[in-house]
Amino acid sequence: MTDPLLPGDPATLGSVRLLGRLGAGGMGRVYLGRTTGGRLVAVKTVHAHLAAEPHFRERFRREAAAARAVTGAHTAAVLDADPASPVPWLATAYLPGVTLRRAVAAAGPLDARVVRSLGAALAEALISVHGAGLVHRDLKPSNVLVTAEGPRVIDFGIARALGDDGLTAAGDVVGTPGFIAPEQITGDSPVTVAADVFALGAVLAFAATGRNPFGDGTVAILLYRAVHEEPDLADVPLEIRGLVADCLNKAPGRRPSVGAVLERTADPRAPLWWREEPLRSLVRGEEEDRPREHTAALPTKEVTATTAVAPAPRPVRDAERARRVERRRELTRRGVLVAGATGLTGLLGVSVVRGWGNPGPRGTAKGAQLTLKKGSAKPGALRWTLTADSGDIDALLLSGGTVLLHGTLSLGGDGYVRACAASDGARRWERAATLGTPGVWGAADGRLVAPDVGLPIVDVGSGKDRATADPARSQPNRWVAVADGAAISGYEDQEETRELEAVDLRTGKRRWAVELGRTQPPAVLGRTLLLAAELGWQVRGVDARSAGTLWTYEGLKDGDGQSLTTAALPDAGNFAVLTTEGELHLVRARGGERVAVAADRYGVTPGATAVGAADGAGLLVTAGRLHGFDPAGAKPLWPSRPTLGVETSWRRGTGGARGPVSAGGLVLHWSKADTLEAVDLRSGEARWARRLTGIAKVPPVVTGGTVHVASGDICTALRLADGTPLRTWSLPGIIDELASDASGWYGRVGTSEVRAYNPVDG
Among 707, 754, 742, 702, which Cα is nearest to 401's?
Answer: 742
- The dihedral sign for the CA sequence 248, 254, 260, 266: negative
**How far is it, in rounded angstroms, from Cα 229 to Cα 222?**
10
Q: Residue 138 has what pLDDT?
A: 85
Q: What is the pLDDT of residues 18-76, one digit of tens each?
A: 887 776 655 677 888 888 777 788 888 887 777 777 767 777 776 677 667 676 677 77
3-state helix, strand, coil split of the chain in percent (to 5) is 20, 35, 45
Greatest C-alpha distance within the chain:
77
Q: At what angle do helices 279-288 and 318-332 cross, to 10 degrees?
A: 160
The arithmetic mean of pLDDT across residues 391-398, rounded, is: 90
Active centre residues (catalytic)? 138
Among 610, 711, 624, which Cα is nearest to 661's?
Answer: 610
In DSSP notation, 270-286 reads ---GGGSTTHHHHHHHH
Average pLDDT, whole number, for the chain? Answer: 79
Q: Residue 741 has what pLDDT?
A: 95
Q: What is the pLDDT of residues 176-218, one digit of tens each?
A: 888 989 988 887 778 889 999 999 999 999 999 988 899 876 6
Query: Between the CA atoms of 152, 158, 163 and 166, what dihedral angle is there, to the nearest 10 degrees?
Result: 170
Map out the domains of the chain with their CATH numbers. 12-288 (1.10.510.10)
| pLDDT higher than threshold 90 for residue 233 | yes
- The dihedral sign for the CA sequence 153, 732, 272, 324: positive
Count other Cβ atoms within 10 Å, centred on residue 47: 16
The DSSP secondary-structure symbol of 256 reads: P
| pLDDT higher than threshold 90 for residue 411 | no
Count other Cβ atoms within 10 Å, centred on residue 658: 24
pTM of the predicted model as reported, rounded to 2 decimal places: 0.58
Highest-confidence segment of 101-105, 284-288, 419-423: 419-423
Q: Is 163 left (phi over 0), alpha (psi -120 to 50) or beta?
A: left
Among 550, 560, 556, 501, which Cα is nearest to 533's?
Answer: 556
In DSSP notation, 442-482 reads EEETTEEE-GGGT--EEETTT--EEE---TT--S-EEEEEE
Count other Cβ atoms within 10 Å, centred on residue 100: 22
The DSSP secondary-structure symbol of 301 reads: B
**How far is it, in rounded angstroms, from Cα 305 to Cα 42?**
7
**How far is it, in rounded angstroms, from Cα 137 to Cα 455?**
48
Q: Residue 350 has what pLDDT?
A: 26
Q: Residue 606 has what pLDDT?
A: 54
- Grouping H, G, I as helix, E, B as strand and the rest as coil, residue 262 is helix
Q: What is the pLDDT of residues 346-371, one digit of tens each?
A: 222 222 222 333 333 444 445 678 99
Q: What is the 3-state secondary structure (H, E, C) of 214-233?
A: CCCCCHHHHHHHHHHCCCCC
Task: Quote the distance between the C-alpha of residue 675 and its chain's center.
Answer: 19
**How far is it, in rounded angstroms, from Cα 735 to Cα 440?**
19
Binding residues for ATP: 44
**How far is it, in rounded angstroms, from Cα 432 to Cα 425?**
19
- Grouping H, G, I as helix, E, B as strand and the rest as coil, residue 288 is helix
**How far is it, in rounded angstroms, from Cα 319 to Cα 386?**
27
- For residues 718 and 706, the answer to whether their CB atoms sit within 8 Å is yes
Q: Residue 340 has what pLDDT?
A: 25
Query: Between the CA atoms of 621, 627, 632 and 633, what dihedral angle is there, to the nearest 10 degrees?
Result: -120
Q: Residue 319 has what pLDDT?
A: 42
- Lowest pLDDT segment from 77-81, 249-253, 332-336, 407-411: 332-336
Q: Is 214 left (phi over 0), alpha (psi -120 to 50) or beta?
A: alpha
Q: Residue 86 has what pLDDT?
A: 82
**How far is it, in rounded angstroms, from Cα 278 to Cα 327?**
9
Among 261, 260, 175, 254, which Cα is nearest to 222's?
Answer: 175
Q: Residue 332 has what pLDDT?
A: 32
